[in-house]
Amino acid sequence: MKPRKQIPAYRNICELLARRIKSGELRQGDAVSSERDLAAEFGVSLMTARHALQVLTTEGLLSRRPSVGTYVAPAKIHFNKLASFTEEMLARGYKPESRVLSATLTSQNDEVCSKLCLPAGSNLNRMQRLRLTGGEPFSIETCYLSAQRFDGILAQDFELKSLFSIISEVYGVTISYADEEIDATSADPKTARLLKVRPGSPILRIRQLLYGSTTPIIYSTALYRSDRHSLLVRRFR
């Protein structure tokens, strides 16, 4: 029987702090113990404690402010996996929130009809939500779906459940992949007010066409605070 491999001391510190963050014991903006305090608590060197904080900073859980201290960082979404906002936040240990801004039927968007392979003038479900975590805004998301295929969907409670789960559980449709366009834009006054940024601030825009098997079923446009998101791209040669 092979002896169990010993976990490095810095990793023990990382795992403990990560658990404290995910359990809510440490919340966004809370100060984290200093290198000296962590070294004393775990009986390790200052270098080991410093390395643990650096690892968690690289992973996006902590934010280090020179000459000030280390704090729990705002949650970030990494766009390298197709997941709903709710799934992404729960996976990272944060509580997702949604506030429905509007939920209406429209037949005035032939461009979206074309993207969804629907006849021009088709009725569409249009829903706009403000996505938050810890009471702080992340994004404004506007989604379109066929009103015929997803009849009655606007009556669902989107403040408690994700769109992905509702179309799967209620309509038997599973999201398989998405085509995305990502660019930068600036916040107009209404967007700035909802995202709590200054008008004209840079924001990230993602236009997304989501497919069931081979058929597009959802078209969405989302505006994200640029300080809360990162894009991870793996390139091969």
Burial pattern 155-174, b for ≥16 Cβ within 10 A else e, equals ebebeeebbbebbeeebebe
- pLDDT single digits (tens) 70-88: 888 776 655 555 666 666 6
pLDDT of 155 strictly over 70: yes
Indicate the average pLDDT of the chain: 84
pLDDT of 134 strictly over 70: yes
Query: Treating both helix axes as pointing N-terminal to C-terminal, what angle do 46-58 and 35-42 enclose, rounded to 10 degrees?
Result: 110
- What's the pLDDT at 223? 93
Q: Is the pTM of this model over 0.75?
A: no
Q: Region 29-38: what's the mean pLDDT?
A: 87
- pLDDT single digits (tens) 197-234: 999 999 999 899 998 877 899 999 999 887 766 666 55
Fold of 9-72: Arc Repressor Mutant, subunit A (1.10.10)
Phi-psi region of 178 (alpha: psi -120 to 50; beta: other; left: phi over 0): beta
Integer angstrom CA distances of residue 114 from 60, 141, 173, 223: 39, 20, 20, 22
In whole angstroms, what is the distance from residue 167 CA to residue 170 CA? 5
- pLDDT single digits (tens) 205-214: 989 999 887 7
Most distant CA pair in the chain, distance: 69
- What's the pLDDT at 214? 76
Q: Which of 54-58, 136-140, 179-183 has the lowest mean pLDDT?
A: 54-58
Checking DSSP bridges between strand 202-211 and strand 216-225, what pairing results, if any? antiparallel
- What's the pLDDT at 128? 95
Is 92 or 105 the better-scoring residue by pLDDT?
105
Strand residue runs (E) in the chain:
62-65, 69-72, 77-78, 96-106, 124-133, 136-146, 177-186, 202-211, 216-225, 229-230
Q: Identify the three-state secondary structure at position 11.
A: helix
With contact defined as beta carbons under 8 Å apart, do 237 and 227 qualify?
A: no
Choices 3.50.80.10, 3.40.1410.10, 3.40.50.300, 1.10.580.10: CATH for 77-230: 3.40.1410.10
Q: Which range among 20-34, 69-83, 93-107 has the greatest average pLDDT? A: 93-107
Write out the residue limits of the CATH 1.10.10.10 domain(s) in the chain.
9-72
Q: Where are the alpha helices (DSSP H) in 28-156?
A: 35-42, 46-58, 85-91, 110-115
With contact defined as beta carbons under 8 Å apart, do 179 and 169 qualify?
A: no
